[in-house]
């Protein structure tokens, strides 16, 4: 990815921070994939506390924020094909979902769910089992915005038809006055 407007990463571990038309900050966070049993699910480790502190500080400063990336967690049951079978699987464990609950309660909005409340809309499928062919997936890639940006959100979508990876692209359309 290219840096826009001379922006540089805040910290190497936190991906990219980019100015959007000098109107809002875009912060991308990618988490490494883990499998069940690899994580020590201590709440303070999910995600990196420094990243959370950074986002909360910028939000307190009143800066409009877009937080995006692969968070490797399906937030609600609607966000994966088989929630009951995956209750104890990394990516849908209660502690992971509780973090996203608190994140949303603190003022961040899952932009996709502003427009789409139907099941079967996923962003990741297991390639080993050819799960994409059967749409047995998880929605683990997100665009979140804080309160100042919610009125600017015009659309959010997933492009499940785009092949080539175990993830599909996601999109967000913002309108700034």
List helix spans (H) across the chain: 49-60, 94-105, 111-115, 131-134
- Sequence-separated (6 or more) residues with CB below 8 Å from residue 82: 136
**Which SS3 state, helix, strand or coil, does residue 154 take?**
strand
Bond before 53 cis per omega within 30 degrees: no
The catalytically annotated residue of 25, 59, 70, 110 is 70
d(CA 113, CA 130): 26
Q: Where does 23-88 show beta strands of DSSP type E?
A: 24-28, 65-70
Number of helices followed by number of strands (H, E) in the chain: 4, 9
- Sequence-separated (6 or more) residues with CB below 8 Å from residue 128: none
Catalytic (active site) residue 70: yes
Would you name the residues annotated as active-site residues? 70
């Amino acid at each position: 990815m290219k840096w826009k407007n001379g922006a540089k990463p805040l910290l190497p571990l936190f991906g990219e921070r980019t100015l959007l038309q000098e109107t809002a900050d875009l912060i991308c966070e990618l988490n490494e994939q883990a499998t069940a049993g690899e994580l020590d699910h201590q709440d303070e480790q999910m995600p990196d506390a420094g990243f959370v502190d950074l986002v909360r500080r910028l939000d307190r400063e009143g800066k409009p924020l877009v937080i995006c990336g692969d968070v490797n967690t399906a937030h609600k049951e609607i966000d994966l094909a088989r929630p009951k079978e995956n209750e104890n699987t990394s990516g849908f464990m209660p502690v992971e979902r509780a973090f996203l609950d608190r994140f949303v309660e603190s003022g961040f909005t899952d932009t996709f769910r502003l427009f789409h409340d139907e099941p079967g809309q996923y962003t990741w499928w297991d390639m080993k089992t050819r799960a994409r062919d059967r749409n047995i997936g998880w929605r683990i890639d997100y665009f979140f915005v804080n309160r100042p940006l919610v009125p600017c959100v015009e659309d959010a979508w997933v492009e499940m038809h785009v092949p080539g990876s175990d993830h599909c692209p996601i999109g967000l359309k913002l309108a700034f006055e």
